Amino acid sequence: MCQLLGVSARKPVSAAFALQGFLLRGGETDQHADGWGIGYYQGEHARMLREARAAAHSGLALRIREQQIRSRNFIVHVRKATRGGIAERNCHPFRRELWGRSWLFAHNGDLGSALPWSHGLFQPIGETDSERAFCLLLNQLVDHFGLRRPPDDVLDAAISAAADRLAQHGSFNFLLSDGNRLYARCATQLFHVERRYPFAQVELIDCAQQIDLARHNHLDDRISVIATQPLTRGENWQAFAPGELKVFERGAERNIRTALETRPLIYA
């Protein structure tokens, strides 16, 4: 299986400290050595870098950490290949354009060979079940709402319903973002922590590095970090419930309406 890392922040932040520990899981402190990728937003547009090699031994991954990239939303992934060969096209996150915004998606799990093929506007480029699921989800949204984005609460409910349908095929932990909102769904294992005043001093689990968050954040900063497994000691990481979908915006968790008020979503 793979591992996921997501960050949602009130203001643009650097994810360098989290990356220092998380990317070691790509071939050093864990066995996810078949590729890695990072997606982040600059305005409405997503930037993405992917590489079909172990993140822990990647010069590119090291440069990304050193650049101190700042964004309000990050999605990061280290891959252990299950479906699809070791190639850049099969590395997460995946990116598509919908409703004038870039969407990023990364998945941890196995949805099986019975996952339907996508027959709509969005088609996979690689061979992974993950990218196919992403395309299926976006095609369902287009079939349901057309080319005009619905209100956030309606969209949240639609994504929740679509995710539940796709999860019938197997394990579906994922991160999804349009640059404003970050969706995180747990099937088997996912944790999150919210960082706000008073900030703590924390230590990475994967290496002997500490940071005093109070020295690097302002009083009004608010950051939510989501990960397959906790990244730090000294913080109160909260486990998702199996099947739970959470949405984060500007560092805070938002409520999701669970019931659709319009017709049910169906596969294209």
Which positions are catalytic?
A: 2
Q: Which two tokens stand for residue 136?
A: 């299926």
CA dist 107 and 254 (Å) reads: 21
Among residues 41, 36, 33, the alpha carbon closest in space to that of 15 is found at 41
Looking only at the bridges linking them, the beta strands covering 45-51 and 3-14 are unpaired
CA dist 246 and 217 (Å) reads: 24
CA dist 15 and 8 (Å) reads: 10
Among residues 69, 55, 87, 92, the alpha carbon closest in space to that of 174 is found at 92
CA 45-38-20 angle, to 5 degrees, is: 135
CA dist 107 and 114 (Å) reads: 17
